[in-house]
């Protein structure tokens, strides 16, 4: 498989003159019956793709806002199996790529082969697994080999140059450039080395580079889209849905529009 479906959607967005905006939501937060409404709202608001978080009891990369959303989702039995079942009824209405963000254990419990096949059948375009480093990703790559599901890599601020080269060369879908050291969550300012970090990744990559972690305001969206091909916004979107502040979501998405010349 070429693994181009996710990349193509992002490139098409960039070609139109916009930057990419990928909101993160926690599946099951607010109830599984809210999943369709939230995905379709983000699609209508202009999201380029949607990152769909799977709740997990030990979310090592998640900050307080997303951890709390995961806890709320787990209380309503938002297991990976139940989330996939919910997607069965709505995937034909989703016209932008869905990217699942999960940890390794839920996939292992589901069965890697079964999970890969179900993702392919439902049109899932990408997979992000924060607790599976590049050096240990072969088993996932094998499971996804016969699908068009891209295994999206994360590159941290502390990754040495030689490791970044390997990760980027093996990257699929897009490169997830982590903009902070530590877990997700809102930030008031970013590391002074971030500009050079994003620039070096973009120079190495032949697929789009997304900046993520800590981006929570329209101003930060604009700042990050000046350095990367787009942004991933998680905690701010999760909090806005929890507080039913749908206007904030639309403002965040709008901040990514018409930032480059086609």
In angstroms, the CA 175 to CA 119 distance is 20
With b meaning 16 or more CB within 10 Å and e meaning fewer, what string describes 107-118? beebeeeebbeb
148 flagged as catalytic: no
Catalytic member of 18, 29, 33, 51: 51
Q: What interhelical angle do 35-45 and 246-254 show, nearest 10?
A: 40
51 flagged as catalytic: yes
**H/E/C letters for each residue in the chain?**
CCCCHHHHHHHHHHHCCCCEEEEEEECCCCCHHHHHHHHHHHHHHCCCCEEEECCCCCCCCCCHHHHHHHHHHHHCCCCHHHHHHHHHCCHHHCCCCEEEECCHHHHHHHCHHHHHHHHHHCCCCEEECCCCCHHHCHHHHHHHCCCCCEECCEECCCCCHHHHHHHHHCCCCCEEEECCCCCCCCCCCCCCCHHHHHHHHHHHCCCCEEEECCCCCHHHHHHHHCCCCEEEECHHHHHHHHCCCHHHHHHHHHCCCCCCCC
In angstroms, the CA 261 to CA 121 distance is 36
Catalytic member of 18, 29, 62, 172: 62
Residues labelled as active-site residues: 51, 62
């Amino acid at each position: 498989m070429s693994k181009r479906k996710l990349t193509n959607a992002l490139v098409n967005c960039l070609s139109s003159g916009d930057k990419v905006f990928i909101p993160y939501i926690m599946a099951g937060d607010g109830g599984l019956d809210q999943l369709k409404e939230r995905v379709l709202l983000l699609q209508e608001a202009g999201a380029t793709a949607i990152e769909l978080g799977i709740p997990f009891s030990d979310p090592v990369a998640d900050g307080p806002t997303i951890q709390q959303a995961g806890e709320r989702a787990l209380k309503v039995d938002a297991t990976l199996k139940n989330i996939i079942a919910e997607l069965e009824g709505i995937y034909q209405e989703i016209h932008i790529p869905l990217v699942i963000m999960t940890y390794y254990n839920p996939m292992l419990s589901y069965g890697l082969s079964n999970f890969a096949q179900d993702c392919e059948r439902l049109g899932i375009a990408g997979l992000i697994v924060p607790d599976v480093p590049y050096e240990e990703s072969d088993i996932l790559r094998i499971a996804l080999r016969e699908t068009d599901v891209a295994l999206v890599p994360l590159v941290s601020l502390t990754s040495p140059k030689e490791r970044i080269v390997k990760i980027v060369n093996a990257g699929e879908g897009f490169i997830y450039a982590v903009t902070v050291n530590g877990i997700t969550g809102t930030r008031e300012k970013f590391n002074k080395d971030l500009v050079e970090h994003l620039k070096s990744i973009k120079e190495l990559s032949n697929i789009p580079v997304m900046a993520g972690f800590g981006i929570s305001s329209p101003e930060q969206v604009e700042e990050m889209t000046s350095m990367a091909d787009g942004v991933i916004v998680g905690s701010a979107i999760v909090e806005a849905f929890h507080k039913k502040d749908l206007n904030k979501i639309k403002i965040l998405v709008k901040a990514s529009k018409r930032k480059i010349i086609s």
